[in-house]
Amino acid sequence: MPSLTSEELISYKDKGYHISNKPLLSQDKFSNLKLIFERLLAERGPGNLDVIHFDNPELMEFLMDDAVLDLVESIIGPDFGLWSSHFISKEPGTGVRTPWHEDSAYWEGRFDKFTGIVTIWLAIDQSNRENGCMRVIPGSHKKADSDYIDVDIQENLFNSEIAEIDNDKAVYFELEPNQYSLHDSRMIHGAEANTSNSRRCGYTMRYFSQDMIFNTENNENNHKIWHCRGKNIHNNPVEN
């Protein structure tokens, strides 16, 4: 089962990310997940695949897979739940970049803190610099209070971006299908546009420590969260 070694965990805590060249799922499970993605992409298009498990419960098989949960437990401990999932598909020749951002900035007020959220980014397709793979600024999760500036929505996925980024410090997450990366929710990350002839899709699976308190008064769109393992310390409103 995949999990971080003690050395890898120390590195993750320091840098805010981990890149693995190992498969996350069994080959059969990964093939089934890709088939589900291809069906959903054909039905909905690339822009409608966020929190996709809400109305596609067959995805829970993968989100609750023991290999996935073992990996999460090695990072944020034994008491945790499922926060969200999202197929992020960049179609060939898509000239829109993902601006530098912190995921936690878009979830402000949803939890009392953001020290215990980890994202698994599972490559559905090959992900490389040519087709707009994710890139991060190592150690940036330690600050997590960045200033944002407005950017042109015609050229960017969002209309704001973190100011004053040193692009020379960026680490690129180049992955083969079924390989994965991990990153802290406070990590500064982004991606260039996909100007290649190949699609770049990843499945993000996000988990939160039950040491965090979910703010039910700021629950946008009745967002549902699930209990995965251990104790629900603060009685968060989780699905079982």
CB of 186 closer than 8 Å to CB of 104: yes
Spatial separation of the C-alpha atoms in residues 56 and 73, rounded to whole Å: 25
pLDDT digit string, tens, across residues 41-92:
999 998 889 999 999 999 999 999 999 999 999 999 999 999 999 999 999 9
Q: Is 224 helix (H, G, I), strand (E, B) or coil?
A: coil
pLDDT at 98: 92
Strand ranges (E), the chain = 17-20, 80-90, 98-101, 117-123, 134-136, 148-150, 160-162, 171-172, 180-184, 189-191, 200-209, 225-229, 238-239
pLDDT digit string, tens, across residues 82-139:
999 999 999 999 878 999 999 999 899 999 999 999 999 999 999 999 999 999 999 9
Output the CA angle 179-35-207, nearest 5 degrees. 50
pLDDT at 154: 84
Question: Taking the model in full, what pTM does it have?
Answer: 0.95
The answer to which of 44-58, 149-163, 169-183 has the lowest mean pLDDT is 149-163
Q: Is a pLDDT exceeding 90 seen at residue 230?
A: yes
Spatial separation of the C-alpha atoms in residues 189 and 182, rounded to whole Å: 12
pLDDT at 156: 85
pLDDT at 1: 58
Q: Is a pLDDT exceeding 90 seen at residue 144?
A: no
Q: Is a pLDDT exceeding 90 seen at residue 140?
A: yes
pLDDT digit string, tens, across residues 6-32:
999 999 999 999 999 999 999 999 999
Q: Is 11 helix (H, G, I), strand (E, B) or coil?
A: helix
- The DSSP bridge partners found for residue 226 are 82, 239
pLDDT digit string, tens, across residues 192-203:
999 999 999 999
Residue-range domains of the chain with CATH: 6-239 (2.60.120.620)
Tabulate helix, strand, coil % of the chain (nearest 5). 30, 30, 45
